[in-house]
């Protein structure tokens, strides 16, 4: 069974056909999906999705682009949601210095506070890090983020950075980028990271894999990512599918 460890089915890109698309997942071998909240609205919709579909689990957290929306009261609201039965992670949280929508101070403060929340809740974290590699790892170390574990989603850095995260016990989230012809570094990372520490993800509606690059992404395109990881590692597609599903079940503490 295929496990999509990171999706955004609350996105408006799915407004027209969300129900029929999600209804077709299980017959296409998609066994589990974790829908990831990124904004206040996204978190609310994520909780709703987990209640509507038995195979959808959720993560609650505020993305660095939206970190300025957080305050003490809203942090308490997130903490309460962490107690919901199908909420399995805090995320996505982190730092984004590419879009730089909030000041670095604001981003770092709420990243640290949400890492602390994950520890309190006993949940793993889903980390978003873009153009902020050093600060990301510094905040993680200061908050002892190794103790909750988690995933670096849509990993887009060097093999050396991947090694640091793998040594902290983190999973590396691999998405559509690995299938792009010019993604040399990402292919190196996929070769280097042990299969035991890889999760596969869509980040849909974004980042559709080749040959659907540029189109709306969905979990139905995950076989292209599985195929490419299998090719790079010289192992079977079945093994990649099976092991990455097992890894995600373990990290999110879901009983199969």
∠ CA 179-181-182, nearest 5°, is 115
Closer CB to Zn ion, 45 or 203, in the complex: 203
CB of 123 to Zn ion, least distance (A): 17
Closer CB to Zn ion, 10 or 203, in the complex: 203
Residues facing 89 on adjacent strands: 59
How many angstroms separate the CA atoms of 226 and 103, rounded?
37
Q: Does residue 63 have a known ligand-binding role? A: no
How many angstroms separate the CA atoms of 5 and 92, rounded?
12
How many angstroms separate the CA atoms of 20 and 13, rounded?
14
Q: 11 is written with which tokens?
A: 């996105």
Provide the binding-site residues for Zn ion, judged by CB under 5 A: 203
CB of 94 to Zn ion, least distance (A): 10
How many angstroms separate the CA atoms of 12 and 243, rounded?
32
Closer CB to Zn ion, 5 or 244, in the complex: 5
How many angstroms separate the CA atoms of 179 and 20, rounded?
27
How many angstroms separate the CA atoms of 224 and 210, rounded?
7
Q: Does residue 246 have a known ligand-binding role? A: no
CB of 64 to Zn ion, least distance (A): 11
Closer CB to Zn ion, 37 or 149, in the complex: 37
CB of 236 to Zn ion, least distance (A): 28
Q: At what angle do helices 237-251 and 222-233 cross, to 10 degrees?
A: 110
Identify whether the C-beta of residue 5 lies closer than 8 Å to the C-beta of residue 201. yes
Q: Does residue 104 have a known ligand-binding role? A: no
Closer CB to Zn ion, 4 or 203, in the complex: 203
CB of 6 to Zn ion, least distance (A): 6
- Binding-site residues: 6, 8, 92, 128, 153, 203
- Binding-site residues for a divalent metal cation: 6, 8, 92, 128, 153, 203
């Amino acid at each position: 069974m295929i496990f999509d460890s990171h999706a955004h089915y609350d996105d408006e890109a799915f407004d027209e056909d969300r129900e029929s698309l999600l209804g077709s997942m299980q017959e296409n071998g998609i066994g589990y999906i974790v829908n990831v909240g990124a904004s206040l609205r996204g978190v609310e919709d994520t909780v709703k999705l987990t209640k509507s579909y038995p195979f959808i689990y959720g993560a609650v957290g505020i993305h660095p682009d939206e970190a300025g929306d957080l305050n003490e009261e809203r942090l308490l609201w997130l903490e309460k949601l962490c107690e919901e039965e199908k909420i399995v992670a805090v995320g996505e949280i982190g730092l984004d210095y590419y879009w730089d929508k909030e000041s670095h101070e604001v981003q770092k403060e709420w990243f640290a506070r949400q890492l602390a929340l994950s520890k309190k809740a006993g949940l793993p974290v889903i980390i978003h890090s873009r153009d902020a590699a050093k600060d990301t790892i510094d905040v993680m170390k200061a908050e002892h983020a190794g103790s909750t574990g988690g995933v670096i989603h849509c990993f887009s850095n060097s093999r050396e950075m991947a090694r640091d995260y793998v040594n902290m016990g983190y999973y590396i989230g691999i998405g559509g980028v690995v299938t792009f012809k010019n993604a040399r570094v990402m292919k190196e990372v996929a070769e280097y990271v042990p299969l035991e520490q890889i999760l596969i993800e869509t980040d849909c509606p974004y980042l559709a894999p080749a040959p659907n690059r540029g189109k709306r992404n969905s979990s139905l395109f995950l076989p292209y990512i599985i195929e490419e990881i299998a090719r790079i590692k010289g192992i079977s597609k079945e093994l990649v599918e099976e092991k990455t599903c097992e890894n995600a079940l373990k990290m999110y503490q879901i009983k199969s």
